[in-house]
Structure 1
Amino acid sequence: MLVRSLSLAIALLAAASAAALGQTRDDAIATPVLRANVTVSGDLVRIGDVIDNAGPSAGIAIYRAPDLGMTGTLPVDRVLTALRAHQVIGVDTRDLREISVTRLARTLEGKDIELAVARALERRNGLGDAANLGLTFDRDAGDVRLDAANSGALHPASVRYDARNGRFDVTLEISNDGGAAPVKLRFAGTVIETVEAAVLARGVERNEVLKASDVVIERRPKAEVGNDAARRDRAVGMQARRQLRAGQALRLADLAKPDLVQRDQSVTLTYQAAGLYLTIRGKALESGTEGDVVNVLNLQSKRTISGVVTGRGQVSITVATPRLPDTSDATSAIGAAPVAVAAANANTPVSPKAE
């Protein structure tokens, strides 16, 4: 009985050992399978990149990877030849004729590089905000591709700027996830500070009033415009003090309020006081905008009088006396005929005379 039990135990142990050994052998000889699409992050393509179940040969390099961010193709027969050279055989090709290999990369766009350089120069040696800096690079700052491991932010490692000639030399640094040395990118060129300026779309003559279609917005060098650059909303509706050419950036000194009264223009003279309002036609002897004092010829009396421009074609006459005006004041101020004054006074109520 004891012998039978011992024999049964030995048989069970042997069966278990055989099953474990068979499983190990199956794992060891699992069929390598070719991949149709391969993605690598380094500059080499390894056996473990192109096939599954590569085993101990996975780390062996067999090809150089495509350029950063690029995709290439490999014929399957060439791949199999490279694998056989390293004793990798029996590969399941899944009837593929070629495989594609893509190298991962990080792309830095030119606009991001320009912004990083502008931020490095911001407020340095008298420069303004980064948004107002115009950069010209010695070499094209186009898109730059880096190894995918370089995932850090762009940081200025060194910055040099010469305010005398506007030259800059900036080195940007990008850290590496793998612990390798940071990548450094160097850019040189010139920088100027710009401002938004109202620019003439056409030439205008002296005293011409600017319309909305006459003015556009452009960025111009601050040194060209100066500190009195006119904004578009301040330029439209204003009058040119002098002849201005197309493409010229407008300054506040170039503009004035539009003349509401033109020389030799027919105007309305008004005189108003308590209980009295007189109007008469006149001829402006000079131009003026709102608030200007101009000389006007009274067409009825042929006298020259002064008044303040109050509106388009409107001139108000005032007297230099603080007391309430009477008929003689009005007549003297506006030079009106007595009949006009009498007409105004006819509207003033008269108390009955006591008997």
Structure 2
Amino acid sequence: MARRSTYILLIAGLAALCGSAGHAEQPAEIARPVLRPSVTVNSDLVLIGDMVENAGAAAGIAIYRAPDIGTTGSLPTAKVLAALRAHRVIGVDTRDIREVTVSRLSRAIDGHEIESEVIRALARQNGRSDHATFNLKFDREPQDVQLDPSNVGALEAVAVRHDSRTGRFDVTFEVAHETGGTPVKLRYTGNAIETVETAVLARSVERNEVVKASDVMMERRPRSEVGPDALDRSSVVGMQARRALRPGQPLRSADLAKPDLVQRDQGVTLIYELPGIYLTMRGKAMENGAEGDVVNVLNIQSKRTISGIVIGRGQVSISAGQPRQIAYAEQPAAAPADAAKPE
């Protein structure tokens, strides 16, 4: 009876061992491949692993060329499945997707940014500040540029040529690669005219007429037309025209002068001032004069001509250092009567 029980246990143990071994040899369940509805890539190839989840060993196989940088394309699901079957990828769950969209990443550079960088490059080439203004006319208007995302550098001007006489420019930029690869080159050509803001007359101004605020407007004009002395409103208003000036004409320093506060043959007030003393006399100007000018004035009372400094409208200051007219000639002192005579 004991032998029979031992035999039964031995058979049961062998059966359990065989069952355990059989269970260990069962392969693990493989995840089913699933088609993605949309794909984003950053290279020029689309891989099976981009299109299909759980692609397994086939994930690294390229099956399509990617669309152009910064663009999106679409593929019918049937064509995608056919391409997958060619590489023994079958049983893909499409989840009723009718097409797959494929987008390629990019780094976009706006056309306005390019124009600003061209202006900055021209300003530096001509020794101007970054805030200089150029009117640009490109041979081909700059469009938005789509670069590979690996081109991470800034727009760097590596070649700048500008003929200030003709206005022609030729600017080449480079955009560096993140791993030190070959940079992207972008070249732009056209005409550039530098402009400056300057004071311009809104109406005709006659010779010796004083310019008023309403006579002036600020406009941007070509630097070649204005010259080096562009004037602002504050430096023009209140000045006197040296000659007749026409409307629309940019004003230059040589066109203007300080206004005459004293006119030739005009009656003026002569002012003599010292600490504790303030004297005024009537006089007549012998010449025109602006503030700070030295003019000759006739003293009405003494009929003498003296010089003074124009200090206001119709006012001339006589300096304390003016030469004094001697009223009488001093006589030499007489020798004493008892002075010894030479023998």
CA distance, structure 1, for counterparts of residue 266 and residue 322 of structure 2: 29
Query: Cα–Cα, structure 1 residues 208 and 242, in superposed 2: closer, same or farther, change >3 Å?
Result: same
Once the two structures are superposed, residues 141-172 of structure 1 have per-residue CA deviations (whole angstroms, 9 ceiling, x without a partner) of 33322222322333345455556655443332
1:95 Cα deviation after fit: 5.0
Output the TM-score relative to the length of structure 2: 0.69
Letter of the structure 2 residue corresponding to residue 26 of structure 1: I
**What amino acid maps onto 1:79 in structure 2?**
T
Q: Do structure 1's residue 32 and structure 2's residue 16 form an aligned pair?
A: no
Aligned ranges 1:48-197 → 2 under 5 Å:
48-58=49-59, 59-62=61-64, 65=67, 67-72=68-73, 78-87=76-85, 90-94=91-95, 96=97, 99-117=100-118, 127-129=126-128, 131=130, 132=132, 134=134, 135-160=136-161, 165-177=166-178, 181-191=182-192, 194=194, 196-197=196-197
Q: Which amino acid aligns with 1:277?
A: Y
Higher helix proportion (structure 1 or 2): 1
The amino acid that maps onto 2:198 is A
CA distance in 2, matches of 1:261, 1:8: 129
Match of 2:218? 216
Q: Give the deviation of 1:290 after TM superposition.
A: 0.8
Q: Is the 8 A contact 2:199 2:232 kept in 1?
A: no
SS of residue in 2 equivalent to 1:15: helix
Q: Counterparts of 1:73 and 1:152 in 2: how far apart (Å)?
A: 31
Deviation at 1:105? 1.7
SS in 2 for 1:198: strand
Provide the C-alpha distance between the structure 2 equivalents of 1:321 and 1:130, rounded to a whole number of angstroms: 51
Instruction: Tell me how far 1:181 sits from its aligned partner.
Output: 3.4
Say if 1:7 and 1:209 are closer, same or farther in 2 by CA, change over 3 A: same
User: Which string of whole-angstrom CA distances, capped at 9 and with x for unpartnered residues, describes residues 272-312 of structure 1?
Assistant: 35664333556656542111234567788998765431113
RMSD of the alignment, in Å?
Answer: 4.1
For 1:153 and 1:292, the matched residues in 2 are separated by: 57
- Is 2:279 the counterpart of 1:278? yes
- Closer, same or farther: CA 151–320 of 1 in aligned 2, 3 Å: closer
Indicate yes or no: 2:25 matched with 1:17: yes
The question of whether the paired residues in 2 share the 8 Å contact of 1:197 and 1:232 is answered with no
SS at match of 1:26: coil
- Given that 1:170 and 1:187 are in contact with CA atoms closer than 8 Å, whether structure 2 keeps it comes out as yes
Q: Which runs of 5+ in 1 are unaligned?
A: 329-355
Check 1:212–1:110 CA distance in 2 against 1; reply closer, same or farther (3 A cut): farther
Aligned position for 1:350: none
Residue 224 of structure 1 deviates from its aligned partner by 3.1
**8 Å contact kept, 2:198–2:226:** no
1:198 corresponds in structure 2 to 198
> CA-to-partner distance for each residue in 1:5-29, whole Å, 9 max, x for gaps?
55534432322232xx1x2x423xx
Report the residue type matching 2:16 in the other structure: L
Distance 1:42 1:169 in 2: 32
Distance 1:102 1:85 in 2: 19
Residue 144 of structure 1 aligns with an amino acid whose one-letter code is: V
Aligned residues: percent identity?
A: 49
Are the aligned partners of 1:204 and 1:245 in contact in 2 as well (CA < 8 Å)?
yes
Q: How does 1:271-350 map to 2 (within 5 A)?
A: 271-273=272-274, 276-280=277-281, 286-294=287-295, 307-318=308-319, 321-322=322-323
SS at match of 1:260: strand
User: How far is 1:85 from its partner?
Assistant: 4.3
Partner of 2:16: 8
Q: Deviations over 1:113-144 (max 9, x none)?
A: 345445655665xx313623735433223332
Whether the 8 Å CA contact 2:173–2:186 is kept in 1: the answer is yes
Q: Unaligned regions of 5+ residues in structure 2, if any?
A: 1-8, 328-343
Partners of 1:10 and 1:265 in 2: CA distance:
135
